[in-house]
Copies of this chain bind each other. A is one copy, B any other.
Amino acid sequence: MASLFVRIDLASGDHIGPGKVDLLEQISEHGSIAAAGRAMGMSYRRAWELVEELNETFGRPVVQSRTGGKSGGGAELTPLGYLVVGRYRALQKAVDKASQGHLSAIQAELKGRRA
């Protein structure tokens, strides 16, 4: 099936795309930037860079330290981080729905799909 790749291009030149949003989701799931990076086959350094880019874009953190608990620290999303993930996913869903008819029409013309 064809799918849409969607990226938000900001006036500042910054971008918010599926890579950064997937990373935030993985941080939320694993409670750690390192573990999130590993789950995505990404170096710790690269995962940090992407989080820092988002922090810079918004001028405040999307991820914060989580102190204490039995895992002894780690990371969690800030309310802003959750907003970014939630809005991006909702945007993606709305976009997928809105594009369906046109995507199917293009797909029907593809090589190998013709009678």
Task: Give 1 or 0 for each of A64-84: 1 = CB within 8 Å of chain B CB.
Answer: 000000000000000010011
Looking at chain A, what size class is its interface with the partner chain?
35 or more
Q: Inside 8 A of A97's CB, which chain B residues have their CB?
A: 98
Task: Give 1 or 0 for each of A10-25: 1 = CB within 8 Å of chain B CB.
Answer: 1110011000000000
Q: Inside 8 A of A8's CB, which chain B residues have their CB?
A: 2-5, 103, 106
Q: Inside 8 A of A12's CB, which chain B residues have their CB?
A: 110-111
13 more A-B contacts (CB under 8 A) besides A4-B7, A88-B106? A2-B8, A2-B10, A5-B8, A5-B15, A6-B6, A6-B99, A12-B111, A57-B111, A60-B111, A83-B106, A88-B102, A90-B102, A91-B103
